Structure 1
Protein backbone atom coordinates (compact mmCIF):
# COMPACT_ATOMS: atom_id res chain seq x y z
CA UNK A 1 0.00 0.00 0.00
CA UNK A 2 2.85 2.41 0.82
CA UNK A 3 4.49 1.84 -2.57
CA UNK A 4 1.17 2.44 -4.34
CA UNK A 5 0.62 5.66 -2.39
CA UNK A 6 4.12 6.88 -3.19
CA UNK A 7 3.67 6.10 -6.88
CA UNK A 8 0.35 7.95 -6.90
CA UNK A 9 1.88 11.00 -5.18
CA UNK A 10 4.76 11.08 -7.65
CA UNK A 11 2.36 10.87 -10.57
CA UNK A 12 0.29 13.75 -9.20
CA UNK A 13 3.42 15.76 -8.57
CA UNK A 14 4.53 15.32 -12.18
CA UNK A 15 1.07 16.33 -13.39
CA UNK A 16 1.03 19.44 -11.22
CA UNK A 17 4.55 20.48 -12.23
CA UNK A 18 3.49 20.23 -15.86
CA UNK A 19 0.29 22.16 -15.14
CA UNK A 20 2.27 24.94 -13.45
CA UNK A 21 4.57 25.11 -16.47
CA UNK A 22 1.60 25.40 -18.83
CA UNK A 23 -0.11 28.03 -16.67
CA UNK A 24 3.02 30.16 -16.64
CA UNK A 25 3.36 29.79 -20.40
CA UNK A 26 -0.27 30.78 -20.97
CA UNK A 27 -0.08 33.58 -18.41
CA UNK A 28 2.98 35.12 -20.05
CA UNK A 29 1.20 35.12 -23.41
CA UNK A 30 -2.47 35.77 -22.63
CA UNK A 31 -2.06 38.19 -19.73
CA UNK A 32 0.65 40.38 -21.23
CA UNK A 33 -0.24 44.04 -20.52
CA UNK A 34 -3.16 43.05 -18.30
CA UNK A 35 -3.57 43.93 -14.61
CA UNK A 36 -4.95 41.59 -11.95
CA UNK A 37 -5.70 43.44 -8.72
CA UNK A 38 -5.96 41.38 -5.54
CA UNK A 39 -7.90 43.26 -2.87
CA UNK A 40 -9.98 42.79 0.24
CA UNK A 41 -12.16 45.05 2.33
CA UNK A 42 -10.84 43.39 5.49
CA UNK A 43 -7.33 42.36 6.44
CA UNK A 44 -6.16 38.93 7.56
CA UNK A 45 -8.01 36.80 5.02
CA UNK A 46 -5.10 35.51 2.90
CA UNK A 47 -4.94 38.24 0.25
CA UNK A 48 -1.16 38.51 0.11
CA UNK A 49 -0.61 34.76 0.02
CA UNK A 50 -2.98 34.49 -2.93
CA UNK A 51 -1.35 37.42 -4.74
CA UNK A 52 2.14 35.94 -4.43
CA UNK A 53 1.10 32.52 -5.68
CA UNK A 54 -0.95 33.93 -8.56
CA UNK A 55 1.93 36.15 -9.67
CA UNK A 56 4.19 33.11 -9.95
CA UNK A 57 1.60 30.84 -11.56
CA UNK A 58 0.73 33.44 -14.20
CA UNK A 59 4.35 34.56 -14.82
CA UNK A 60 3.33 38.10 -13.87
CA UNK A 61 5.14 40.94 -12.12
CA UNK A 62 4.05 41.23 -8.49
CA UNK A 63 3.46 44.91 -7.75
CA UNK A 64 3.32 45.32 -3.98
CA UNK A 65 1.18 48.30 -2.92
CA UNK A 66 0.83 47.22 0.72
CA UNK A 67 3.17 49.20 2.96
CA UNK A 68 2.66 47.21 6.17
CA UNK A 69 5.34 44.80 7.37
CA UNK A 70 3.07 41.81 6.75
CA UNK A 71 3.24 42.51 3.04
CA UNK A 72 4.40 40.40 0.10
CA UNK A 73 7.79 42.13 -0.02
CA UNK A 74 8.67 41.05 3.51
CA UNK A 75 7.22 37.58 2.96
CA UNK A 76 9.51 37.14 -0.05
CA UNK A 77 12.62 38.21 1.85
CA UNK A 78 12.86 41.88 0.88
CA UNK A 79 13.87 44.11 3.82
CA UNK A 80 13.44 47.74 2.81
CA UNK A 81 15.85 49.02 5.45
CA UNK A 82 18.75 47.29 3.68
CA UNK A 83 18.37 49.41 0.53
CA UNK A 84 18.97 53.09 -0.08
CA UNK A 85 16.85 53.24 -3.24
CA UNK A 86 13.10 52.68 -3.34
CA UNK A 87 12.17 51.68 -6.91
CA UNK A 88 8.44 52.19 -6.40
CA UNK A 89 8.81 55.73 -5.04
CA UNK A 90 11.40 56.58 -7.70
CA UNK A 91 8.97 55.40 -10.37
CA UNK A 92 6.19 57.57 -8.96
CA UNK A 93 8.48 60.58 -9.16
CA UNK A 94 9.92 59.94 -12.62
CA UNK A 95 7.01 58.14 -14.27
CA UNK A 96 9.42 55.50 -15.57
CA UNK A 97 8.59 51.87 -14.96
CA UNK A 98 10.50 50.38 -12.00
CA UNK A 99 12.73 47.42 -12.68
CA UNK A 100 11.27 44.29 -11.05
CA UNK A 101 13.51 42.44 -8.63
CA UNK A 102 14.23 38.86 -9.70
CA UNK A 103 14.93 35.96 -7.33
CA UNK A 104 14.72 32.21 -7.64
CA UNK A 105 11.44 30.52 -6.70
CA UNK A 106 9.75 33.91 -6.34
CA UNK A 107 7.74 36.07 -8.72
CA UNK A 108 9.43 39.13 -10.17
CA UNK A 109 8.73 41.82 -7.58
CA UNK A 110 8.35 45.56 -7.31
CA UNK A 111 8.63 45.88 -3.51
CA UNK A 112 6.72 48.34 -1.39
CA UNK A 113 8.08 50.66 1.30
CA UNK A 114 6.54 52.20 4.45
CA UNK A 115 6.94 55.68 2.96
CA UNK A 116 4.48 54.73 0.23
CA UNK A 117 1.70 55.21 2.80
CA UNK A 118 2.16 58.99 2.70
CA UNK A 119 3.25 59.19 -0.94
CA UNK A 120 0.32 57.50 -2.66
CA UNK A 121 -0.78 59.21 -5.86
CA UNK A 122 -4.44 59.94 -6.47
CA UNK A 123 -6.30 56.90 -7.83
CA UNK A 124 -6.58 58.00 -11.46
CA UNK A 125 -2.89 58.95 -11.97
CA UNK A 126 -1.81 55.70 -10.29
CA UNK A 127 -4.12 53.65 -12.50
CA UNK A 128 -2.50 55.24 -15.56
CA UNK A 129 0.97 54.55 -14.20
CA UNK A 130 0.22 50.87 -13.48
CA UNK A 131 -1.27 50.42 -16.95
CA UNK A 132 1.76 52.10 -18.50
CA UNK A 133 4.21 49.97 -16.53
CA UNK A 134 2.45 46.80 -17.62
CA UNK A 135 2.70 47.92 -21.24
CA UNK A 136 6.36 48.88 -20.90
CA UNK A 137 7.20 45.52 -19.30
CA UNK A 138 4.94 43.74 -21.81
CA UNK A 139 3.97 41.58 -18.84
CA UNK A 140 0.95 40.76 -16.80
CA UNK A 141 0.82 42.49 -13.42
CA UNK A 142 -0.60 41.16 -10.17
CA UNK A 143 -1.09 44.13 -7.84
CA UNK A 144 -1.35 43.32 -4.14
CA UNK A 145 -3.10 46.11 -2.26
CA UNK A 146 -3.46 47.49 1.23
CA UNK A 147 -6.72 46.31 2.84
CA UNK A 148 -9.56 48.78 2.59
CA UNK A 149 -10.15 51.75 0.34
CA UNK A 150 -6.85 53.66 0.22
CA UNK A 151 -5.97 55.79 -2.81
CA UNK A 152 -3.48 53.19 -4.04
CA UNK A 153 -6.05 50.40 -3.75
CA UNK A 154 -8.56 52.46 -5.73
CA UNK A 155 -5.85 53.18 -8.31
CA UNK A 156 -5.06 49.49 -8.70
CA UNK A 157 -8.79 48.80 -9.02
CA UNK A 158 -9.03 51.42 -11.75
CA UNK A 159 -6.25 49.74 -13.71
CA UNK A 160 -7.61 46.22 -13.26
CA UNK A 161 -8.73 43.91 -16.02
CA UNK A 162 -9.88 41.62 -13.21
CA UNK A 163 -10.27 42.10 -9.46
CA UNK A 164 -9.62 38.99 -7.37
CA UNK A 165 -11.08 39.01 -3.88
CA UNK A 166 -10.41 36.21 -1.37
CA UNK A 167 -13.42 35.51 0.80
CA UNK A 168 -13.57 33.93 4.26
CA UNK A 169 -16.93 32.43 5.22
CA UNK A 170 -17.48 34.43 8.39
CA UNK A 171 -20.17 36.94 9.32
CA UNK A 172 -17.92 40.00 9.60
CA UNK A 173 -15.94 39.04 6.53
CA UNK A 174 -19.08 38.69 4.43
CA UNK A 175 -20.37 42.00 5.79
CA UNK A 176 -17.14 43.64 4.61
CA UNK A 177 -17.41 41.87 1.26
CA UNK A 178 -20.96 43.14 0.76
CA UNK A 179 -19.83 46.70 1.41
CA UNK A 180 -17.00 46.36 -1.11
CA UNK A 181 -19.26 44.86 -3.78
CA UNK A 182 -21.64 47.81 -3.40
CA UNK A 183 -18.74 50.14 -4.17
CA UNK A 184 -17.46 48.09 -7.10
CA UNK A 185 -20.62 47.55 -9.13
CA UNK A 186 -19.72 47.07 -12.79
CA UNK A 187 -16.13 45.94 -12.23
CA UNK A 188 -15.04 42.45 -13.32
CA UNK A 189 -14.64 40.52 -10.05
CA UNK A 190 -13.72 36.94 -9.17
CA UNK A 191 -14.40 35.87 -5.59
CA UNK A 192 -12.12 33.14 -4.22
CA UNK A 193 -13.44 31.33 -1.13
CA UNK A 194 -10.42 31.00 1.14
CA UNK A 195 -9.53 29.07 4.30
CA UNK A 196 -12.57 26.86 3.81
CA UNK A 197 -13.00 24.16 6.51
CA UNK A 198 -13.80 20.53 5.61
CA UNK A 199 -17.47 21.23 6.37
CA UNK A 200 -18.20 24.79 5.20
CA UNK A 201 -20.93 26.61 7.16
CA UNK A 202 -24.14 26.27 5.17
CA UNK A 203 -25.62 29.69 5.99
CA UNK A 204 -22.45 31.52 4.96
CA UNK A 205 -22.15 29.49 1.77
CA UNK A 206 -25.70 30.47 0.89
CA UNK A 207 -25.02 34.13 1.67
CA UNK A 208 -21.91 34.13 -0.53
CA UNK A 209 -23.88 32.72 -3.43
CA UNK A 210 -26.62 35.32 -2.88
CA UNK A 211 -24.07 38.15 -2.85
CA UNK A 212 -22.47 36.85 -6.04
CA UNK A 213 -25.86 36.63 -7.76
CA UNK A 214 -26.99 40.05 -6.51
CA UNK A 215 -23.88 41.87 -7.72
CA UNK A 216 -23.24 39.75 -10.81
CA UNK A 217 -19.76 38.54 -9.90
CA UNK A 218 -18.10 35.18 -10.40
CA UNK A 219 -17.09 32.70 -7.69
CA UNK A 220 -13.94 30.73 -8.39
CA UNK A 221 -12.48 27.51 -6.98
CA UNK A 222 -11.93 27.41 -3.24
CA UNK A 223 -8.79 27.12 -1.15
CA UNK A 224 -9.05 24.91 1.93
CA UNK A 225 -7.77 25.58 5.42
CA UNK A 226 -4.09 24.66 5.87
CA UNK A 227 -2.99 25.54 9.40
CA UNK A 228 0.71 25.11 8.61
CA UNK A 229 0.63 28.00 6.11
CA UNK A 230 0.36 30.53 8.95
CA UNK A 231 3.74 29.53 10.37
CA UNK A 232 5.58 28.79 7.11
CA UNK A 233 9.05 30.38 7.25
CA UNK A 234 10.36 29.91 3.69
CA UNK A 235 10.69 33.14 1.69
CA UNK A 236 9.48 31.51 -1.50
CA UNK A 237 6.12 30.72 -3.06
CA UNK A 238 4.82 27.18 -2.71
CA UNK A 239 3.98 26.64 -6.37
CA UNK A 240 7.52 27.62 -7.44
CA UNK A 241 9.14 24.69 -5.65
CA UNK A 242 10.97 22.24 -7.94
CA UNK A 243 9.14 19.38 -6.21
CA UNK A 244 6.05 19.18 -4.03
CA UNK A 245 5.76 17.33 -0.75
CA UNK A 246 2.79 15.27 0.36
CA UNK A 247 1.74 18.25 2.49
CA UNK A 248 1.94 20.82 -0.30
CA UNK A 249 0.31 18.78 -3.07
CA UNK A 250 -3.30 19.63 -2.07
CA UNK A 251 -2.74 23.37 -1.81
CA UNK A 252 -0.82 23.44 -5.10
CA UNK A 253 -3.72 21.59 -6.72
CA UNK A 254 -6.18 24.20 -5.45
CA UNK A 255 -3.99 27.16 -6.34
CA UNK A 256 -3.57 25.97 -9.92
CA UNK A 257 -7.36 25.72 -10.19
CA UNK A 258 -7.71 29.32 -8.99
CA UNK A 259 -4.99 30.49 -11.41
CA UNK A 260 -6.80 28.78 -14.26
CA UNK A 261 -10.02 30.60 -13.33
CA UNK A 262 -8.17 33.93 -13.17
CA UNK A 263 -6.67 33.26 -16.58
CA UNK A 264 -10.07 32.48 -18.08
CA UNK A 265 -11.81 35.51 -16.58
CA UNK A 266 -9.02 38.03 -17.28
CA UNK A 267 -8.04 36.90 -20.75
Structure 2
Protein backbone atom coordinates (compact mmCIF):
# COMPACT_ATOMS: atom_id res chain seq x y z
CA UNK A 1 0.00 0.00 0.00
CA UNK A 2 1.11 3.54 -0.68
CA UNK A 3 -0.42 6.82 0.51
CA UNK A 4 -0.32 10.00 -1.56
CA UNK A 5 -1.05 13.50 -0.25
CA UNK A 6 -2.29 16.23 -2.59
CA UNK A 7 -1.32 19.34 -0.70
CA UNK A 8 -1.10 23.10 -1.14
CA UNK A 9 -0.68 25.99 1.27
CA UNK A 10 -3.35 27.99 -0.56
CA UNK A 11 -6.74 27.32 -2.09
CA UNK A 12 -7.85 27.84 -5.67
CA UNK A 13 -4.99 25.90 -7.28
CA UNK A 14 -7.00 22.85 -8.37
CA UNK A 15 -6.00 20.68 -5.41
CA UNK A 16 -9.30 18.89 -4.88
CA UNK A 17 -9.94 18.41 -8.59
CA UNK A 18 -6.48 16.89 -8.96
CA UNK A 19 -6.95 14.60 -5.94
CA UNK A 20 -10.26 13.28 -7.31
CA UNK A 21 -8.85 12.70 -10.78
CA UNK A 22 -5.74 10.95 -9.47
CA UNK A 23 -7.89 8.69 -7.29
CA UNK A 24 -9.97 7.84 -10.35
CA UNK A 25 -6.80 7.05 -12.33
CA UNK A 26 -5.59 4.80 -9.52
CA UNK A 27 -8.85 2.89 -9.45
CA UNK A 28 -9.59 2.83 -13.17
CA UNK A 29 -6.26 2.89 -15.00
CA UNK A 30 -4.14 0.98 -12.46
CA UNK A 31 -7.16 -0.96 -11.17
CA UNK A 32 -5.96 -0.60 -7.62
CA UNK A 33 -8.32 -0.65 -4.68
CA UNK A 34 -8.27 3.04 -3.80
CA UNK A 35 -9.51 5.20 -0.93
CA UNK A 36 -9.82 8.96 -1.35
CA UNK A 37 -9.68 10.46 2.14
CA UNK A 38 -11.07 14.00 2.18
CA UNK A 39 -9.54 16.09 4.98
CA UNK A 40 -10.83 19.40 3.64
CA UNK A 41 -13.95 20.56 5.49
CA UNK A 42 -15.60 21.76 2.27
CA UNK A 43 -16.09 18.10 1.22
CA UNK A 44 -15.22 19.03 -2.35
CA UNK A 45 -14.07 15.50 -3.18
CA UNK A 46 -17.46 14.06 -2.30
CA UNK A 47 -19.20 16.68 -4.40
CA UNK A 48 -17.03 16.03 -7.45
CA UNK A 49 -17.64 12.30 -7.16
CA UNK A 50 -21.39 12.74 -6.79
CA UNK A 51 -21.37 11.26 -3.27
CA UNK A 52 -23.66 12.84 -0.70
CA UNK A 53 -22.27 12.43 2.85
CA UNK A 54 -24.19 10.49 5.49
CA UNK A 55 -25.04 12.30 8.71
CA UNK A 56 -24.73 9.41 11.16
CA UNK A 57 -21.12 10.04 12.21
CA UNK A 58 -18.90 13.10 12.04
CA UNK A 59 -15.70 12.87 10.03
CA UNK A 60 -13.54 13.68 13.06
CA UNK A 61 -14.87 10.75 15.07
CA UNK A 62 -12.15 8.40 13.81
CA UNK A 63 -9.60 10.66 15.46
CA UNK A 64 -11.57 11.48 18.61
CA UNK A 65 -12.60 8.05 19.84
CA UNK A 66 -10.65 5.66 17.64
CA UNK A 67 -13.70 4.62 15.63
CA UNK A 68 -13.07 2.25 12.75
CA UNK A 69 -12.54 4.45 9.63
CA UNK A 70 -14.26 1.87 7.44
CA UNK A 71 -17.55 2.73 9.16
CA UNK A 72 -17.41 6.15 7.52
CA UNK A 73 -16.25 4.98 4.09
CA UNK A 74 -18.74 5.32 1.25
CA UNK A 75 -18.70 3.63 -2.13
CA UNK A 76 -18.55 5.79 -5.25
CA UNK A 77 -20.00 5.10 -8.65
CA UNK A 78 -16.64 3.77 -9.83
CA UNK A 79 -15.17 0.31 -9.36
CA UNK A 80 -12.27 0.11 -6.89
CA UNK A 81 -12.82 3.66 -5.64
CA UNK A 82 -14.15 4.49 -2.16
CA UNK A 83 -14.43 7.82 -0.36
CA UNK A 84 -13.94 8.78 3.27
CA UNK A 85 -15.82 12.09 3.16
CA UNK A 86 -15.25 15.27 5.12
CA UNK A 87 -17.69 17.54 6.93
CA UNK A 88 -17.67 20.66 9.12
CA UNK A 89 -16.21 18.76 12.09
CA UNK A 90 -12.85 18.67 10.28
CA UNK A 91 -12.46 22.42 10.78
CA UNK A 92 -11.41 21.89 14.41
CA UNK A 93 -9.43 18.70 13.81
CA UNK A 94 -6.06 20.38 14.34
CA UNK A 95 -7.07 21.48 17.85
CA UNK A 96 -8.44 18.03 18.56
CA UNK A 97 -5.17 16.40 17.50
CA UNK A 98 -3.20 18.85 19.64
CA UNK A 99 -5.40 17.95 22.59
CA UNK A 100 -5.01 14.22 22.02
CA UNK A 101 -1.25 14.62 21.81
CA UNK A 102 -0.65 11.65 19.51
CA UNK A 103 1.57 12.80 16.67
CA UNK A 104 1.04 9.69 14.56
CA UNK A 105 -2.71 9.13 14.99
CA UNK A 106 -3.33 9.50 11.26
CA UNK A 107 -0.41 7.21 10.38
CA UNK A 108 -1.83 4.52 12.68
CA UNK A 109 -5.22 4.80 11.00
CA UNK A 110 -3.55 4.45 7.61
CA UNK A 111 -1.79 1.30 8.79
CA UNK A 112 -5.17 -0.26 9.56
CA UNK A 113 -6.62 0.78 6.20
CA UNK A 114 -3.64 -0.73 4.38
CA UNK A 115 -5.27 -4.12 4.86
CA UNK A 116 -8.13 -3.03 2.61
CA UNK A 117 -6.60 -0.62 0.06
CA UNK A 118 -3.67 -0.49 -2.36
CA UNK A 119 -3.65 3.31 -2.56
CA UNK A 120 -4.85 5.99 -0.15
CA UNK A 121 -5.02 9.53 -1.52
CA UNK A 122 -5.45 12.48 0.82
CA UNK A 123 -7.21 15.66 -0.26
CA UNK A 124 -5.50 17.89 2.31
CA UNK A 125 -6.75 21.20 3.73
CA UNK A 126 -4.81 24.25 2.42
CA UNK A 127 -3.31 25.08 5.82
CA UNK A 128 -0.17 24.59 7.88
CA UNK A 129 -1.24 22.95 11.13
CA UNK A 130 -1.22 19.66 13.03
CA UNK A 131 -3.42 18.01 10.39
CA UNK A 132 -0.95 18.75 7.60
CA UNK A 133 1.95 17.65 9.82
CA UNK A 134 0.26 14.31 10.49
CA UNK A 135 -0.47 13.83 6.79
CA UNK A 136 3.23 14.34 6.02
CA UNK A 137 4.14 11.65 8.54
CA UNK A 138 1.67 9.24 6.94
CA UNK A 139 2.33 9.96 3.24
CA UNK A 140 4.71 8.12 0.93
CA UNK A 141 4.55 10.90 -1.66
CA UNK A 142 3.37 14.53 -1.63
CA UNK A 143 1.87 16.07 -4.79
CA UNK A 144 1.93 19.88 -4.80
CA UNK A 145 -0.21 21.67 -7.43
CA UNK A 146 1.14 25.12 -8.18
CA UNK A 147 -0.30 27.85 -10.41
CA UNK A 148 2.16 29.13 -13.02
CA UNK A 149 3.20 32.44 -11.45
CA UNK A 150 6.27 34.04 -9.86
CA UNK A 151 4.87 32.96 -6.50
CA UNK A 152 4.91 29.27 -7.49
CA UNK A 153 8.51 28.69 -6.42
CA UNK A 154 7.90 30.50 -3.15
CA UNK A 155 4.79 28.46 -2.40
CA UNK A 156 6.70 25.30 -3.23
CA UNK A 157 9.49 26.26 -0.82
CA UNK A 158 6.92 26.66 1.96
CA UNK A 159 5.62 23.14 1.33
CA UNK A 160 9.15 21.72 1.18
CA UNK A 161 9.93 23.29 4.56
CA UNK A 162 6.71 21.86 5.99
CA UNK A 163 7.45 18.36 4.71
CA UNK A 164 11.05 18.44 5.92
CA UNK A 165 9.79 19.53 9.31
CA UNK A 166 7.76 16.34 9.61
CA UNK A 167 10.92 14.49 10.68
CA UNK A 168 13.57 12.19 9.31
CA UNK A 169 12.67 10.12 6.29
CA UNK A 170 10.20 12.68 5.00
CA UNK A 171 8.30 11.72 1.82
CA UNK A 172 9.46 12.85 -1.64
CA UNK A 173 7.67 15.84 -3.15
CA UNK A 174 6.41 16.12 -6.72
CA UNK A 175 5.47 19.67 -7.85
CA UNK A 176 2.82 19.98 -10.57
CA UNK A 177 2.02 23.11 -12.53
CA UNK A 178 -1.76 23.43 -12.53
CA UNK A 179 -4.16 25.39 -14.75
CA UNK A 180 -1.47 26.14 -17.34
CA UNK A 181 -2.46 28.35 -20.28
CA UNK A 182 0.50 28.63 -22.65
CA UNK A 183 -1.17 31.52 -24.48
CA UNK A 184 -0.24 33.66 -21.49
CA UNK A 185 3.36 34.84 -21.41
CA UNK A 186 3.62 34.45 -17.63
CA UNK A 187 2.43 30.85 -17.82
CA UNK A 188 4.79 30.12 -20.70
CA UNK A 189 7.73 31.54 -18.75
CA UNK A 190 6.82 29.46 -15.68
CA UNK A 191 6.55 26.33 -17.83
CA UNK A 192 9.94 26.96 -19.42
CA UNK A 193 11.53 27.66 -16.03
CA UNK A 194 10.15 24.37 -14.63
CA UNK A 195 10.21 22.20 -17.74
CA UNK A 196 10.70 18.97 -15.79
CA UNK A 197 7.60 19.48 -13.66
CA UNK A 198 4.39 17.74 -14.80
CA UNK A 199 1.76 20.21 -16.01
CA UNK A 200 -2.03 20.14 -16.15
CA UNK A 201 -3.55 22.50 -18.74
CA UNK A 202 -6.23 25.05 -18.04
CA UNK A 203 -9.13 23.39 -19.83
CA UNK A 204 -12.90 23.54 -19.95
CA UNK A 205 -12.99 19.77 -19.35
CA UNK A 206 -11.40 20.28 -15.92
CA UNK A 207 -13.89 23.03 -15.08
CA UNK A 208 -16.72 20.74 -16.18
CA UNK A 209 -15.83 18.28 -13.40
CA UNK A 210 -17.88 20.41 -11.01
CA UNK A 211 -20.82 20.45 -13.45
CA UNK A 212 -20.73 16.77 -14.36
CA UNK A 213 -19.68 15.76 -10.83
CA UNK A 214 -17.33 13.26 -12.43
CA UNK A 215 -13.58 12.94 -13.02
CA UNK A 216 -12.38 14.18 -16.41
CA UNK A 217 -11.49 10.68 -17.57
CA UNK A 218 -15.06 9.52 -16.97
CA UNK A 219 -16.71 11.98 -19.38
CA UNK A 220 -13.89 13.37 -21.57
CA UNK A 221 -11.29 10.59 -21.76
CA UNK A 222 -9.68 11.88 -24.97
CA UNK A 223 -9.29 15.47 -23.81
CA UNK A 224 -5.79 16.96 -23.34
CA UNK A 225 -6.54 17.37 -19.63
CA UNK A 226 -7.46 13.70 -19.20
CA UNK A 227 -4.28 12.66 -20.99
CA UNK A 228 -2.15 15.00 -18.86
CA UNK A 229 -3.64 13.67 -15.63
CA UNK A 230 -3.15 10.07 -16.78
CA UNK A 231 0.50 10.84 -17.60
CA UNK A 232 0.92 12.38 -14.16
CA UNK A 233 -0.52 9.26 -12.57
CA UNK A 234 1.95 7.10 -14.52
CA UNK A 235 4.79 9.29 -13.21
CA UNK A 236 3.46 8.89 -9.66
CA UNK A 237 3.33 5.10 -9.95
CA UNK A 238 6.91 5.07 -11.26
CA UNK A 239 8.06 7.26 -8.38
CA UNK A 240 6.37 4.98 -5.85
CA UNK A 241 8.00 1.96 -7.47
CA UNK A 242 11.41 3.49 -6.81
CA UNK A 243 10.85 3.67 -3.04
Q: TM range, normalised to the smaller chain?
A: 0.7 to 0.9
Q: TM-score, normalised by structure 2?
A: 0.79
The residue number in structure 2 matching 1:114 is 88
| Distance in 2 (alpha carbons) for counterparts of 1:207 and 1:221 | 12
Choose from 31, 40, 45 the match for 1:72.
45
Q: Please list, as runs of the form range in 1=range in 2, the aligned pairs for 1:167-206 lying within 5 A after superposition.
A: 167-185=146-164, 187-199=171-183, 201=186, 203-205=189-191
What residue ranges of structure 2 are gaps of 5+ in the alignment? 28-33, 165-169
Deviation at 1:220, TM superposition (A): 4.1
Deviation at 1:205, TM superposition (A): 3.8
Question: Which deviations, in whole Å up to 9, do the C-alpha atoms of 1:50-100 show, x marking residues without a partner?
Answer: 10011111122100000125x2123323444x52323x3332222423242
| Distance in 2 (alpha carbons) for counterparts of 1:133 and 1:56 | 22
Aligned residues: 219
Choose from 72, 85, 90 the match for 2:61.
90
> Is the 1:174–1:208 contact (alpha carbons within 8 Å) kept by the matching residues of 2?
no
Question: Which deviations, in whole Å up to 9, do the C-alpha atoms of 1:17-67 show, x marking residues without a partner?
Answer: xxxxxxxxxxxxxxxx21001101111000101100111111221000001
Deviation at 1:192, TM superposition (A): 1.1
| Distance in 2 (alpha carbons) for counterparts of 1:133 and 1:236 | 29
Say yes or no: does 1:62 pair with 2:49: no
The residue number in structure 2 matching 1:26 is none
Cα distance change, pair 34–140 in 1 and its aligned pair in 2 (3 A): same
Choose from 37, 40, 53 the match for 2:8.
40
Structure showing greater Rg: 1
The residue number in structure 2 matching 1:133 is 112
Cα distance change, pair 228–240 in 1 and its aligned pair in 2 (3 A): closer
> Is the 1:91–1:98 contact (alpha carbons within 8 Å) kept by the matching residues of 2?
no
Bigger proportion of residues as helix: 1
| Distance in 2 (alpha carbons) for counterparts of 1:206 and 1:257 | 19
Deviation at 1:252, TM superposition (A): 1.2
The residue number in structure 1 matching 2:31 is none
| Distance in 2 (alpha carbons) for counterparts of 1:222 and 1:148 | 23
| Distance in 1 (alpha carbons) for counterparts of 2:24 and 2:181 | 25
